[in-house]
Amino acid sequence: MPKVIPFQATRPTRDKVGLIASKPYETYTKAQVEARLDNNPFSFLHIANPGYKYNKEISGKERFSLVKNRFEEFKEDGSFQQDEKPCYYLHRIIYRNEIEFVGFVGAASVEDYENDIIKKHEDTLTEKVEVFTEYLKTVRFNADPVLLTYPDNDILDGISKRLMQTRPEYEFTTTSRETHHFWVIEDLKLHEQIQKEFEVMEHIYIADGHHRSSSSIDLKKVLESENNQHTGKEAYNFFMGFFIPESHLRIHEFNRLIKDLNGLSKDEFLIKLDEQFKIENLKQNYYKPKEAHYFSMYLDGDFYELNLRDRNCDFNDALSKLDAQILFNTILKPILGIQDLKTNSRLVYSQGQKDMAFVKGAVDQGDYQVGFGMYPASIEEMKTIADEGMKMPPKTTYIEPKLRSGITIYEF
């Protein structure tokens, strides 16, 4: 059922791709951005941060227009070229010489997103979607594919393995120790096979990029209303995706840091926790949960193991048994008084790769009073929640791979 089609990517030339490709702008510190802009004239960050040229911060619609201008300049000087015919692309990413991700780059149907053939597991913020829609309407390109996942498929896996025996179009390694291999798939017979295999799937799932995919609906409505010759085949009816088998995804947790105990003393707080959890004080012994419904807590110099009491394990749906929801229902909301997980300034999220050592350091420094470590959600939990039409709490999953900007650009 899902419609995944080839498209004419605008791509860096082979000699410049390693210089152009960058992590998303917001993942760099200010110092890192400045260093890359100062030392690499080809970085995609020059497009994402057009104010650098004028040595000033630029935002809003003015920034959007300048982003478009920088992109056009990169095309004019030959750093980017568009493929002559629609293609699929195969992208292989190896992290630190040990973790491999392999997936296809293609165009996903906005209509499939609207009709829930492409499933979602996160809520989106209306304001953020509106801003990104306005951005896309101005710049008329997308440089960051949405990460989508599909059930492992022997035929697609076989196509990938055969292609990986041939010379890639790109091969480069970044300073973050990511090695990228990239193949352009021009063969029409392979196009038919790839499209057919996606069409027989019941659903595909968004792993990362909910706001980008949601904004594609609004963009399609705007551009369709402006086009008297609309056919449904225009590029704005699709959005760029990186399609990866479920077995290739890596899901990490987001840990939680809270600035205070909501007026409770340490002992009062622990007594309230005891109503919901079996508690073991592990003193200075580092602890990270090894299974669901166990939580790590760092408080006042000690690690604690929290194990949800059996009487609290009467779950009525997939969301209620999710650890992030359990933490909210049993601690964050009733004890710590955190009602809104999106906006409460007392709550900060820390992605799991920073681990409980980061949580410990943040609490020891006095920035926070307590930290909680989570067991990561599974792909099965993510899919079941999406299938049941529910949404995970914010910052439940930190999913890899994290994709680089500027390797494939989708114009519309």
CATH number, domain containing residue 259: 3.30.1760
Among candidates 244, 254, 36, 74, which has minimal Cα distance to 157? Answer: 244
> Would you state the pLDDT for residue 228?
94
Q: From CA 334, how far away is CA 300, in angstroms rounded?
A: 21
The tally of domains found in the chain comes to: 2
Averaged pLDDT score across all residues of the chain: 95
Task: Express each pLDDT in 16-31 by its tens digit.
Answer: 999 999 998 878 888 9
> Would you state the pLDDT for residue 127?
86
> Would you state the pLDDT for residue 233?
94
Report residue 6 as tokens. Answer: 């080839």
Q: Is residue 333 in a domain?
A: yes
> Would you state the pLDDT for residue 22?
96
Whether residues 262 and 356 share a domain: the answer is yes
Three-class DSSP category at 406: coil
Whether residues 221 and 342 share a domain: the answer is no
Domain with 319 in it: 251-383
Q: Is residue 187 within 8 Å of 101, Cβ to Cβ?
A: no
Q: Is residue 388 in a domain?
A: no
Average pLDDT, 10 consecutive residues per value, the chain (412 residues): 97 97 87 93 95 84 94 97 98 92 98 96 86 95 97 98 98 94 98 98 96 94 95 97 97 96 98 97 96 97 96 87 96 97 92 87 96 96 95 92 96 96
> Would you state the pLDDT for residue 25?
81
> Would you state the pLDDT for residue 199?
97
Helix-strand-coil split of the chain, %, nearest 5: 35, 25, 35
Q: Which residues pair with 410 in a beta bridge?
A: 142
> Would you state the pLDDT for residue 126?
84
Dihedral class, residue 94 (left if φ above 0, else alpha if ψ from -120 to 50, else beta): beta
Q: Is residue 390 in a domain?
A: no
Whether residues 154 and 288 share a domain: the answer is no
Q: Is residue 139 in a domain?
A: yes
Q: Is residue 395 in a domain?
A: no
Burial 313-346 (b: 16+ CB within 10 A, else e): eeeeebbebbbbbbbbbbbbeebbebeebeeeee
Whether residues 193 and 77 share a domain: the answer is yes
